Amino acid sequence: MKTEIFGMPLPQLQTALAELGMKKFRAKQIYDWLYQKCVFDFAQMSNLGKAERQLLQETFSVLPAEIRVVRKLDSADGLTQKILLELPDGNAIETVLMHHDYGYSVCVSSQVGCDMHCAFCASGLHGAVRNLTVAEIAAQVYLFDARLAAAGERVSRVVVMGSGEPMLNFDAVFEALQFLHQPDVANIGYRNMTVSTCGIIPGIQKMQKLELPINLAISLHAVRNELRSELMPVNQGFPFPDVIAAAEEYATSSGRQVTYEYILLADINDSDRDAELLAEYLRYKQAGVNLIPANPVPEKGYFRPKMQRIERFVSILRRHRIHATVRKEMGKDINAACGQLRAAFAGEKAQGTRS
């Protein structure tokens, strides 16, 4: 069985090559091919000897070369691209590339599926299958880097906000981010990384202990206990006031403002009172609110509020001096919300198995 080379720390690769009888400096050359040139085929690594390339081919696998792009969707405005990826074990994940005026960001998944079962999210429809590895998380960035390389562009921001709960795959997620941060890998600054959680407090506390200035985002979505538990069952284990307290400790420790994600659902959590309560909980906190007008899900009774209601909600927050923005919608026409594409693909596979 081949050893996965992608995501392998340099000292470990140097040791592995030495065991094959190869010179230590070859590891740096391979790093350059993989992470700077985005070349995932040993046969194309021209400054290595033919025998060495053959030996590498027989010994190692390179994950990005083994991931199959099942579907690729481009938004009409050309700013968003979503790809559905089939991993070597047959599981599927999705990842999204977004082109902003400041560069390119990638929204990566941390798990195959999700066990959080948020009522408005497609990621948890089939539950969590397994955690992703360090290589599988990093590869999501590099599959886009390989596409951008021809234009001399690179991904400059990473958001762990795709399918899965990052804090339930803590070690792999943060190892991947630290790997991507390395100058000889993707050289992405920690301040250009964001991890979003439904509110797994032990994970927030572990993140604080790492002492890395990575941005923290909290999926909040309601500040009435019964309603949040209905929308997000995780609230029963980690009540949102405790989550906000843990997030504020992180903000104080890291010096990074916490972003609270709040999906606006018409006639459910978008009232004046909801806005007043949200402002009350976040008053004097190092916090900003990112409001997300919901994608309609009529079968679940979820609808997008009218623009007048959204603007009213924002105005109440700002009146209380809470920094609030309405998320710029990207990729709405290609189902860029978490889990939508994978859920459709899983349904098609299941249908194909039955037929």
Q: Which residues are annotated as a binding site for S-adenosyl-L-methionine?
A: 164-165, 196, 219-221, 295
CA distance 69 to 85: 5
CA distance 163 to 98: 16
Catalytically annotated residue among 38, 107, 198, 338? 338
CA distance 334 to 97: 12
CA distance 88 to 90: 5
Summarize the annotated binding site as residue ranges.
Answer: 114, 118, 121, 164-165, 196, 219-221, 295
Catalytically annotated residue among 52, 94, 136, 261? 94
Which sign does the torsion angle of CA 300, 306, 309, 311 carry? Answer: positive
CA distance 197 to 304: 23
8 A C-beta contact, residue 261 and residue 290: yes
For the record, the structure tokens of 172 come out as: 């792999």
For the record, the structure tokens of 202 come out as: 């032990």
CA distance 129 to 224: 31
For the record, the structure tokens of 219 come out as: 């999926």
Residue 94 bears catalytic tag:
yes
| Longest CA span, the chain | 70
| Ramachandran class of 332: left when φ > 0, alpha when ψ lies in -120 to 50, beta otherwise | alpha
8 A C-beta contact, residue 106 and residue 96: yes
Residues with Cβ within 8 Å of residue 173, at least 6 apart in sequence: 110, 137, 160, 166, 167, 195
Q: Which helix (H) or strand (E) holds 259?
A: strand 258-264
Residue 338 bears catalytic tag:
yes
Summarize the annotated binding site for [4Fe-4S] cluster as residue ranges.
Answer: 114, 118, 121
What's the burial of 45, exposed, middle or buried (CB within 10 Å: 0-12/13-18/19+)?
buried
CA distance 252 to 214: 13
CA distance 331 to 162: 14
Catalytically active residues, by annotation: 94, 338
